[in-house]
Chains A and B, each alone.
Chain A
Amino acid sequence: MAPKVEKVFNLTREMLDPSFADLVAPDREKLLTCIQCGTCTASCQTAYAMDYTPRQLWRLIQLGLKNEVLSSNSYWLCTACYACTLRCLRGIACTETMSTLKRMSVAAGMEKLSSSARFYEAFKESVFRHGRMHEVELMTIFFGKTRSIKLMDFSRLGFTLWRKGKVSLDASHTDIKGLDQIKAIYRKVEELEAKA
């Protein structure tokens, strides 16, 4: 099999943001020690579908190529399986770095590009409303946000599960008594994040 051709782009000084690694990594010093061994990519089950493999992504972060990194699909395909984190010879928090990129993307308003991001936002909304996740409502909010034709597939699965008594259309069983506490937690987190 021919080796995969890596993406070529014209590097200009304006593209470099040296503070990027500070923002991304929970442990910047470790991330800077990445020696490009590729154990992360070899461990990653979704790397084949990524614009940049995990190994390439760390290098782009080291260089400060913020836009290249954030506009890629790579981190949204991370399933948080922690195989790379477990195996990284340098002890880099690879999975957490992927999560940080997801949050940066959402904060930059780029999450509209990703189906997973819309799912996560729908999840956040559902938990805010009930304190627990309600699967049918979550899928309804999610497909409302995406308007995907996959809705048909999932309706079929939902119907099967409903027939078996495994899901309920009524969300009341997911309402916790301490829902006010959940709402207070959300509000305080938003307040602290607005300050940061």
Chain B
Amino acid sequence: MKYSYMPGCSLLSTAKGYDISARSVVKALGSELAELEDWSCCGANAIESVSYLLSVSLPARNLALAEAVGSELVTSCSSCFLNLFKVNHRLKREPELKGKLDEILGAAGLHYSGNTRVRHLLDVIANDIGVEAVAERVEKKLSGLKVVPYYGCQTVRPYGEYDGPYLPTSMDKLIEAVGAETFPYLWKTRCCGGVLMTTETEIGVKLVSELLAAAQGADCIVTVCPMCQMNLDAYQGKISNKLGIKINMPVLFLTQLLGLAFGLPSELLLLG
């Protein structure tokens, strides 16, 4: 199946490896992520904190572009996913919002009727492509590898659209499908602190320290969100000093792990 794909801003830079591996893995599974032409920023968590209408209109521009193409819109970023998904939810919840959105998008020569279905990449791989198809594609079983399935917050909350919002399992099943073990981890949907790592660093460091400490004993952490990956990966030196234990925990994107098991070449996974 061919999907419209919006990688999101982080995947152009800090999470490049997620973008390349996502496209490659989906292709290896016989589907296609066709980049949505000229997509724009979804607003992340930032815009809703300063303007409600802008927080609806910015993601709605992408939904309008995808609607014109006529396909479902897949994104690999959990923040993009939630922002795009919320537009449809809010249009149903607030009848007066449609007129305002028409006016705003109209000023940009665009229109959105509310028909673009929004999907998280995790949902597409786990539920459209399916665990069995993933298992069949494996060339090198990742036997013995203990993997933490870390979902973070916005991957499944608050709507739980495609997986349980309390204890999701879709990523666990994919990890097991490629022959690895899931590391028992009760904090799989706790928050990494998001932007607080930048703006309130002490709090961000505390949250991530707890997540990394609980993952000790595992071989790696796997995530489907660029913000989670960045926060868990980039501050391990600082956190090692704080906890007084040496933390050296690889934090991979799910698609990098799947790509390894599929035997994809390293330039398609950008690992290391």
Contacts and interface: CB of A to CB of B under 8 A. Distances in A.
Interface of A: 45-46, 49, 77, 79-83, 85-86, 95, 99-100, 102-103, 106, 114-121, 123-124, 127, 131-135, 139, 142, 150, 153-154, 157, 160-161, 165-168, 173-174, 176-178, 180-182, 184-189, 192-193
Given A80-B154, A102-B50, A103-B48, 18 more contacts: A45-B191, A46-B193, A46-B203, A79-B195, A81-B154, A81-B194, A83-B189, A95-B158, A115-B200, A127-B47, A132-B40, A139-B198, A161-B14, A174-B12, A178-B38, A184-B107, A184-B109, A192-B100
A168 to B, nearest CB: 7
Contacts of B58: 127, 182, 185
Contacts of B50: 102-103, 106, 117, 120-121, 124
Interface residues of B, number: 54
Contacts, number: 178
B196 A82 contact: no
A124 B52 CA distance: 12
Nearest to B160: A86
Contacts of B234: 157, 160-161
Contact of B51 (A116, A177, A182, A193): A193
B47 A120 contact: yes
Given A120-B46, A150-B201, A181 B191 contact: no
B203 A103 contact: no
24 contacts: A46-B207, A77-B203, A79-B194, A80-B45, A80-B48, A80-B154, A86-B160, A103-B51, A106-B49, A115-B199, A123-B44, A123-B46, A131-B41, A133-B9, A134-B9, A150-B201, A154-B198, A160-B234, A181-B109, A182-B108, A184-B107, A184-B109, A185-B57, A188-B107
